[in-house]
Amino acid sequence: MNIMSKNVIEVNNVTMRFNMSKENLDSLKEYFIKLVKRQLFFEQFTALSNVSFNIEKGDVFGIVGFNGAGKSTILKVISGILQPSEGSVKIDGTIAPLIELGAGFDMELTARENVYLNGTVLGLSPDFIDTKYDEIIDFAELQDFQDVAVKNFSSGMLARLGFAIATVVTPDILIVDEILSVGDFLFQQKCENRISEMMKNGTTVIIVSHSIEQIEKLCNKVIWLEKGKVKMLGETKEVCDAYKSVTK
């Protein structure tokens, strides 16, 4: 990365292909026999092709596109969860990824245990989590459910807990995939307020939301992905207006 560049994320010609089994195998045994005999044929599916963009420090970067456009896949590549088939990603800073609901949670454990588990995964020490524990539970509004296994939680409760943990320390880069649309309206507002605070402190944010209003409200730059390709990249109004004109 160029020393003079303010880019905190550089996505360079990223292509992501998934292998998908062509056959409908009836059993796991049949699958392994074919695997051993090297008779398993895969069809490749290209979820992202040649995607490039830069994100600068302090940007609130929105990603829009229809289902299956590749939005979650690019977030996973940026977070390092997936390695791209081709191309590269450069990241400058710490990332808090909120990508899949409940990812990073052990469903059998309680909210309290998951705060420690998830916090540790995010690099926080148990002592530090002790000092932030009440704040996390309060923000997630789970005071009455601290010792309940999270498998009993609604998707809204999971989203609140995940967001509260991931944002207890201001990361350099916050990645939010759809989860803001899960909680209720008041919680969405609370999250938006916390994101706004982070933006003031220079955190870079990447947001995927199917609420175009949310993208318009929060983002300063937007990319529109269509079938794994960059359809449009630019200022929020320009991209959102074009996107809305095809979704109406």
Ligand X SMILES: Nc1ncnc2c1ncn2[C@@H]1O[C@H](COP(=O)(O)OP(=O)(O)O)[C@@H](O)[C@H]1O
- Residue ranges binding ligand X (CB under 6 A): 18, 20, 45, 47, 65, 67-73
| Binding partner of 202, given ligand X, Mg ion, none, CB within 5-8 angstroms per partner class | none
Least CB distance from residue 104 to Mg ion, whole Å?
17
Element (H, E) at 241: helix 236-247
| Binding partner of 167, given Mg ion, ligand X, none, CB within 5-8 angstroms per partner class | none
x/- contact string, 17-56, with Mg ion (CB under 5 A)?
----------------------------------------
Span between the terminal Cα atoms of the chain, in Å: 40
| Binding partner of 32, given ligand X, Mg ion, none, CB within 5-8 angstroms per partner class | none
Q: Which two tokens stand for residue 68?
A: 């299956």
For residues 163 and 224, which CB has a smaller minimum distance to ligand X in the complex? 224
Rounded to whole angstroms, how far apart are CA atoms 74 and 139? Answer: 29
Are 222 and 64 within 8 A, CB to CB? yes
For residues 68 and 234, which CB has a smaller minimum distance to ligand X in the complex? 68
Residue 231's CB: how many other CB atoms inside 10 A?
16
| Binding partner of 53, given ligand X, Mg ion, none, CB within 5-8 angstroms per partner class | none
Number of residues that bind Mg ion (CB under 5 A): 2
Q: What angle do CA 47, 173, 182 make, to 5 degrees?
A: 65
3-class DSSP string for 51-114: EEEEEECCCEEEEECCCCCCHHHHHHHHHCCCCCCEEEEEECCCEEEECCCCCCCCCCCEHHHH
For residues 7 and 72, which CB has a smaller minimum distance to Mg ion in the complex? 72
Least CB distance from residue 119 to Mg ion, whole Å?
25
**Part in contact with Mg ion (CB under 5 A); list of ranges 69-77, 133-141, 166-174, 231-239:** 69-77
x/- contact string, 99-138, with Mg ion (CB under 5 A)?
----------------------------------------
Q: Which two tokens stand for residue 102?
A: 């409940």
Binding residue (CB under 5 A) for Mg ion from 8, 11, 55, 72 = 72
What DSSP designation does 221 have?
E
How buried is 137 (Cβ within 10 angstroms: 0-12 exposed, 13-18 middle, 19+ buried)?
A: buried
Least CB distance from residue 22 to ligand X, whole Å?
13
Instruction: Give the binding site for Mg ion (CB under 5 A).
Output: 71-72
